[in-house]
Amino acid sequence: MRQYMVFMNKEILEFIRTYKLLVLFAVFMILGIMNPLTAKLLPYIMGNFMPEGLTINIADPTAMDSWTQFYKNVPQMGLVVLVLIFAGIISNEYINNTLVNMLTKGLKPATLVLSKVTVAMTMWTGAYWCCFLITYGYTEYYWDQSKGSHFFFAALYLWIFGIFLIACVTAASSFFKNFYGSLIVTGAVVVIMYIISLAPKTNDYNPLSLASGNMNILNGVASPGDYKWSVAIALILSVVFTGVAILGISRVSFRRWK
């Protein structure tokens, strides 16, 4: 436990000193402000950029327009930034030649991986829910949100998908000595899930639906229970990926002592 806490502190200081923590929170805070602002100003922007003489009736924005922006911007931009920031979560230790030194000094592979994953998931949790609360606050100020339903579950499922991505990129990072290998593997996993999602019957089990079906929950088209298997599979795979990362680090330790 002492090693775990010490290494967590080391990780937190590293993310602060490299400004990764600042970048992550800044991006998600900006997204939190952009979501309702974009929905509010979209009719004005469209009206001013339309060709002269062409008139299009644009409905007044609603709370659902703000949340549509949230569930479009966070998966398309926020999650990309998340993966970019943590793509080198373990491979950086290879690059800096610090991994072998830590293992030879008695640091257990499980302790190293779990401490890194804990810090990454904590940072993701803070940034994501900060973005959510900002969007919720501004949306509540501008519009009536009474027509929406299950705001928490819709947001919770996207957060779980972020946890899944962190575990995936950590597992990939443990097997590659560069930044790009983990990006390629994580991207390939997402592409595979997208291809699987083309078969509609698989969506009830596909973790990707946690990042794409949120508006269905808000609009009442789907209930939170419809995604229970996607949640279960995403969490199970997160545990599996974390175990794979530990095996990847153990492989380095074994080669060192062989």
Q: How many domains, the chain?
A: 1
Taking only the tens place, the pLDDT of each residue in 208-233 is 999 998 999 999 889 999 999 999 99
* Between residues 257 and 70, the one the model is more confident about: 70
41-98 tens-digit pLDDT: 776 766 555 565 555 666 778 899 899 999 999 999 999 999 999 988 888 777 777 7
Opening angle at CA 68, ends 63 and 71, nearest 5:
130
25-40 pLDDT, tens digit per residue, is 999 999 999 999 888 8
Domain containing 36 equals: 2-257
CA angle 169, 98, 257 (to 5 degrees): 95
Q: Cα(173)–Cα(112) distance, rounded to whole angstroms?
A: 13
Of all helices (H) and strands (E), which one includes residue 197? Answer: helix 179-197
Residues 6+ away with beta carbon under 8 Å from 31: 70, 73, 74, 77, 78, 131, 135
> Could you give the CA distance from residue 46 to residue 32 in angstroms, rounded to a whole number?
22
Give the least confident one: 64-73, 184-193, 248-257. Answer: 248-257
Decide: 43 and 58 in contact? Cβ < 8 Å.
yes
